[in-house]
């Protein structure tokens, strides 16, 4: 069970996911990083820095660019962070582990639209605590009609 603070950050991540472009080639994801004390560090959404940028990647870059450390922090994502990317770029899970983020809270399992998802499994194997709360899943699905319809049929 996640705390109310966790839920508020997850809600913000879901809202941010709605800001990204709706395309058939990527999920619209939002991300927030926060300290264990519940202080927001950075935010990001898919495509915020251009085509190919994942939400987690954007939030991590913003934190790094501001000089903030993400060691022992929490990452909130509207969809399970990717463990592998078709583009060959560094996966979100690899960024999370490298930055020393110790907990991930997300809303929706990554649908097997582009690749077989393995993000949560990789995070757990690296010792990262992973929590899921799907209360906001309908909003995440609405923001991702493009990839779902193109690859799996209408949602």
- What would the pLDDT profile of 25-84 be if each residue is shown by its tens digit? 788 999 999 999 999 999 999 999 999 999 999 999 999 999 999 999 999 999 999 998
- What would the pLDDT profile of 5-25 be if each residue is shown by its tens digit? 999 999 999 999 999 887 777
- Give 17's contacts (C-beta < 8 A, 6+ positions apart): 28, 29, 30, 45, 46, 55, 78, 79, 140, 143, 144
- What would the pLDDT profile of 85-109 be if each residue is shown by its tens digit? 877 789 999 999 999 999 999 999 9
What's the CATH code, domain 4-152? 3.40.140.10
Catalytic residue among 8, 48, 56, 99: 56
pLDDT of residue 147: 60
pLDDT band at 153 (very low <50, low <70, confident <90, very high): very low
The partner residues of 105 in beta bridges, in order of sequence, read 76, 131
Which tokens in the block code for residue 48? 């915020």
Cβ neighbours, 10 Å, residue 94: 17
pLDDT of residue 155: 29
**Residue 56 bears catalytic tag:** yes
pTM for the predicted model, two decimal places:
0.91
Q: Which residue has the tokens 């820095």?
A: 49
The partner residues of 131 in beta bridges, in order of sequence, read 105
Cα 109 from chain centre: 10
pLDDT band at 149 (very low <50, low <70, confident <90, very high): very low
Domain boundaries, the chain: 4-152
């Amino acid at each position: 069970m996640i705390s109310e603070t966790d839920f508020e950050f997850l809600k913000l991540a879901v809202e941010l996911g709605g800001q990204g472009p709706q395309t058939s080639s990527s999920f619209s994801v939002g991300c927030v990083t926060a300290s264990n004390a519940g202080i927001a560090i950075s935010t990001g959404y898919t495509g915020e820095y251009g085509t190919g940028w994942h939400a987690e990647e954007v939030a991590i870059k913003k934190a790094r660019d501001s000089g903030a450390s993400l060691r022992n922090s929490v990452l909130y994502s509207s969809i399970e962070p990717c463990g592998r990317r078709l583009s060959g770029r560094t996966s979100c899970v690899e960024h999370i582990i490298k930055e020393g983020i110790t907990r991930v809270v997300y809303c929706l399992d990554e649908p097997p639209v582009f690749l077989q998802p393995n993000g949560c499994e990789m995070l757990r194997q690296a010792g990262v605590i992973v929590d899921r709360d799907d209360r906001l899943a309908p909003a995440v699905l609405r923001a991702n009609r493009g990839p779902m319809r193109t690859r799996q049929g209408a949602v």
